[in-house]
Amino acid sequence: MITVDGSMMEGGGQLLRMATAYSAINCTPVKVENIRAGRSDPGLKPQHLATLRAAAEMCGARLTGDRPGSGEITFIPGAIRGGDYVFDIGTAGSVTLLLQCLAPIAAYAESPVRLVVTGGTAVKWSPPTPFLENVVWRAFNHMGFDLRLTVKRHGFYPKGGGEVEALINPVGPPRPLITAPSPTRVIRGLSLCGKLPAHVAVRQGKAAQDALKKAGYKPRIDVVALEGRDTPLSPGSLMCLWSEAAYLGSCTLGERGKPAEAVGAEAAKSLIGYMQNGAHVDPHTADNLILPLSLAGGESTFTTSEVTLHTLTAIRLAETFTGSRFSVEGGEGGPTTVKCLAREAGS
């Protein structure tokens, strides 16, 4: 059994999700102690409980310590099973953070997996679904994974109620990832609002488009105002942008009192900054890539504008569970290169 200190480094829910995913994929029991111990509200929250119980169901794991506020769990996995699964987080908790744990597990099942998850599709401190689909999972799929995401209904804080369907086929040996510059300057995007006037999405999109054009890029932004059966339970909006040239994305959520123009401009400014910095992977995608890189054969390399504590925590866990070795090279204010030499199967 591998014991993980849940308070080390970043010390949040990401550490718990990654440890659980590695445990299931490698069929290695894990104990996570001091869960979120450094947080003002330590221990397990509904979002974490939903993720742990879902992962346990998928691989017939014996799970202990799964109660609100618990600071320690043990997860003893069995074989990962394919098939259909339905999970309801029960709050506006992020469906994308749940999928951050479940999708890699599902990819190592013996048969295809269909996940239907209910919760929040665009909530603070987590990647909205367009970002997951068009940036993170695009990188995964280029490595040999087969992940597809469909949003059936969007869900914003506080009521949530969003629903997504994820279709995941078994992965072969994942391929290494090597990023390289591309000449295209096309930027794709989605400006979306629900239970709000349609002009909110229009204004967000125009502000982002104007900023991108001024910087010399070619924006292709879809504008969507959710109506009728697609209307979310709570009002909300988002502006999500991504580059076709690399694994770079930026998302900004609307907030009460925040002008729509500010939402669009903020998302554009972040993405422009990543691209002008010379990065090929944005900081939020970088930490998501560590797990698949550590499972792929050979050497992977990518550049990012910033190596966050989330990414460094992911690297520490990857080295612990897989024996892969990472190097991080670069200084502040410029792109940083992350290299992974994954341990070959059977070695």
Catalytic center residues: 310
Distance between CA atoms of residues 280 and 302, nearest Å: 7
CA torsion sign for 89, 90, 93, 95 is: positive
| Neighbour order of strands in the sheet with 30-33 | 2-5, 30-33, 73-76, 62-64
Provide Rg for the chain, Cα atoms: 19
Distance separating alpha carbons of residues 311 and 330, to the nearest angstrom: 14
Q: How far is CA 149 from the centre of its chain?
A: 12
| Rounded (10°) CA dihedral 126, 118, 247, 220 | -100
- SS3 of the chain: helix, strand, coil, percent, to 5: 35, 30, 35
Task: Please give the structure tokens belonging to residue 150.
Answer: 């469909």
Sign of the torsion angle spanned by Cα atoms 234, 287, 30, 34: negative
**β-sheet bridge partners, residue 236:** 194
Is residue 62 within a helix (H) or strand (E), and if so which, with residue range?
A: strand 62-64
* Range 212-238 burial, b when 16+ CB lie within 10 A, else e: beebebebebebbbbeeeeebbbbbbb
Q: Is the peptide bond before 158 cis (omega within 30 degrees of 0)?
A: yes
